[in-house]
A and B are shown apart, each in its own frame.
Chain A
Amino acid sequence: MNTLIDRLAKLFSISDVVHQRPNLAFVTTPMENTIHLITHLRDRESFSLFVMLSCVDWIEDNQFQLTYVLNNPTEKIDVGIRCFINRDSATMESAHYLWKQVATYQRELKEMYGIDFPGSPRVDESFILEGWDNIPPMRRDFDTKKYSEETFFPRERPQSNDPAQYMKSKLYPDE
Chain B
Amino acid sequence: MSFLNLKADRSKYPQRDADGKMQIDLDSHKFVKLWQGPNHPGVTGNMSVELTLAGDEIVEAKTHVGYLHRGFEKLIERRLFIQGMQTSIRMCVAEPDSNEYVYCTAIEELSNVEIPEMAKWIRTLILEMARLQSLVRVVPGQAGTFGLGLGVQWGVYMRELILDRFEELTGGRVYHMFMTPGGVRGLLPDGFKTRMEENLKEIESFAHRIDDLIFNNVVFKKRAVDTAVIDPSWIDNYGITGFVARSAGFNRDVRKSFPYLIYDQLDFEPKVMEYSDIYNRAKVRWFDILTTVDLIRQIMRKMPEKGDFKAQTPNVLHWTAPKGETYVRSESSRGEYGMYVVTDGTNKPRRVNLRGVSYTHAICVLEDLLVGVNIADVAAVMVSLQTCPPEIER
Tell me if chains A and B make direct contact, with any CB pair below 8 A: yes
Bound-state Cα–Cα, A145 to B79, Å: 12
List A contacts of B109 (CB < 8 A): 20-21
- List, in ascending order, chain B residues with CB within 8 A of A50's CB: 239
Given A26, A65, A80, A99, which contacts B237 in the complex, CB threshold below 8 Å? A99
Q: How far is the CA of A21 from the CA of B258 in the complex (A)?
A: 11
Bound Cα distance A33, B378 (Å): 41
Q: Which residues of B contact A100 (CB under 8 A)?
A: 237-239, 360, 364-365, 368
B residues with CB within 8 A of A: 65-66, 69, 71, 73-75, 77-78, 109, 236-239, 241, 252, 257-258, 324-327, 329, 336, 338, 340, 342, 350-351, 353, 355, 359-360, 363-365, 368, 393
- Interface residue? A130 (CB, 8 A): yes
B325: which of A26, A104, A138, A144 is its contact (CB, 8 Å)? A26
B326 touches A67 (CB 8 A): no
| B351 contacts across to A, CB distance below 8 A | 54-57
Is there contact, CB below 8 Å, between A104 and B359?
Answer: yes
Note all chain B residues with C-beta closer than 8 A to A29. Answer: none
Which residue from B69, B78, B364, B368 sits with its C-beta under 8 Å from A129?
Answer: B69
Mark each residue of chain A from 53 to 75: 1 if its CB lies under 8 Å from any CB of chain B, else 0: 01111000000010101000100
**Are B257 and A76 in contact (CB-based, < 8 A)?**
yes
Question: What CA separation (Å) do A137 and B257 show in the bound complex?
Answer: 36
Pairwise interchain contact A20-B355, C-beta atoms closer than 8 A: no
Give the Cβ gap from A130 to chain B, nearest Cβ, in Å.
Answer: 6
Q: For the complex formed, measure the closest distance between the CB of B4 and the CB atoms of chain A, giving whole angstroms.
A: 34
Tell me whether B238 and A99 are in contact (CB under 8 A). Answer: yes
Q: Once the chains bind, are B353 and A52 in contact (CB under 8 Å)?
A: yes
Q: Are A52 and B338 neighbours in the complex by a CB distance under 8 Å? A: yes
A24 within 8 A of B: yes
CA distance A33 to B312 in the complex (A): 44
B236–A48 CB distance below 8 A: yes
Q: Is the interface of B mostly helix, strand, loop or mixed?
A: mixed
Which 7 A-B residue pairings sit nearest by Cβ, starting from the closest? A128-B66, A48-B236, A52-B355, A54-B353, A101-B360, A100-B364, A56-B351
- In chain A, what residue has the closest Cβ to B236? A48
CA of A24 to CA of B364 in the docked complex: distance in angstroms? 26
Distance, CA A18 to CA B109, complexed state (A):
14
A127 lies within 8 A of chain B by Cβ: yes
Q: Is A103 an interface residue (CB 8 A)?
A: yes
Contact (Cβ within 8 A) A54 B75 = no
Which residue of A49, A67, A73 contacts B340 across the interface (Cβ within 8 Å)? A67
Q: Is A116 an interface residue (CB 8 A)?
A: no
**A interface residues (Cβ-Cβ under 8 A, vs B):** 18, 20-21, 23-24, 26, 48-52, 54-57, 65, 67, 69, 73, 76, 78, 80, 99-101, 103-105, 126-130, 137-138, 140, 142, 144-145
Q: CA A127 – CA B258 in complex, angstroms?
A: 32
Can you sample 13 A-B contacts with CB below 8 Å?
A20-B327, A24-B326, A50-B239, A55-B353, A73-B257, A80-B325, A80-B340, A101-B360, A127-B65, A128-B393, A137-B71, A137-B74, A144-B75
Query: In angstroms, how far is the closest chain A Cβ from the Cβ of B378?
Result: 19
Question: Are A128 and B364 in contact, CB atoms less than 8 angstroms apart?
Answer: no
B238 contact from A73, A101, A142, Cβ within 8 A:
A101
Cα separation A65 to B351 with both chains bound (whole Å): 11
CA distance in complex: A55, B104 (Å): 21
Contact of A20 among B258, B324, B365 (CB under 8 A): B324
Q: Which residues of A sit under 8 angstroms from B66, Cβ to Cβ?
A: 126-130
B63 nearest CB neighbor, chain A only? A104
Q: Give min CB distance, A129 to chain B, whole Å.
A: 6
CB atoms of B340 and A144 under 8 A apart: no
B residues in contact with A127, CB < 8 Å = 65-66
Query: Shortest beta-carbon distance, B54 to chain A, in Å?
Result: 22
In contact, A138 and B74 (Cβ under 8 angstroms): yes
Q: Please, which residues of chain A bring their CB within 8 A of the CB of B69?
A: 128-129
Q: Which residues of B contact A101 (CB under 8 A)?
A: 238-239, 359-360, 363-364
Q: Which residues of A contact B325 (CB under 8 A)?
A: 18, 20, 26, 56, 67, 80
